[in-house]
């Protein structure tokens, strides 16, 4: 995802070459993340976009956890948050990348 400095550098070209009716999606991920963290809208649903395999595997593990947590989605959410807090994502990422050619990780 480009940084604001890169977008500003292309602003002149965009302004000169796009028509006024061109559809545009302008996102500011950090601001959106802060908004989600504040949760002023009191949202209570989490949506993730994943591939088919991850979807199926997540469903298996979610069902296994839910059955042990008396089908309580709030307890499941709290268990997921605790697991995420304890998981060393950087070490896991490094393990995944070992033996692979360098990419934009």
pLDDT digits (tens, 9 = 90+) for 61-93: 999 999 999 999 999 999 999 999 999 999 999
Mean pLDDT of 8-31: 88
DSSP code of 105? -
Q: How many domains does the chain have?
A: 1
Q: For position 14, what pLDDT does the model report?
A: 86
Domain-located, residue 38 = no
Q: What residue numbers bound the domain in which 93 lies?
A: 46-97
Model confidence at 102: pLDDT above 70: no
Packing angle, helices 52-68 and 73-86, rounded to 10: 110
Strands (E), 2-102: none
Domain-located, residue 23 = no
């Amino acid at each position: 995802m480009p940084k604001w400095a890169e977008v500003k550098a292309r602003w002149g070209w965009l302004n000169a070459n796009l028509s006024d009716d061109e559809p545009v999606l302008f996102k500011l991920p950090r601001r959106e993340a802060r908004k989600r963290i504040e949760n002023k809208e009191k949202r209570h649903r989490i949506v993730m976009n994943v591939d088919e395999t991850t979807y199926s595997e997540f469903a298996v593990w979610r069902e296994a956890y839910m059955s042990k947590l008396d089908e309580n989605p709030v307890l499941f959410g709290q268990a997921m948050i605790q697991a995420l807090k304890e998981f060393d994502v950087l070490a896991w990422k490094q393990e995944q990348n070992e033996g692979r050619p360098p990419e934009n990780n």
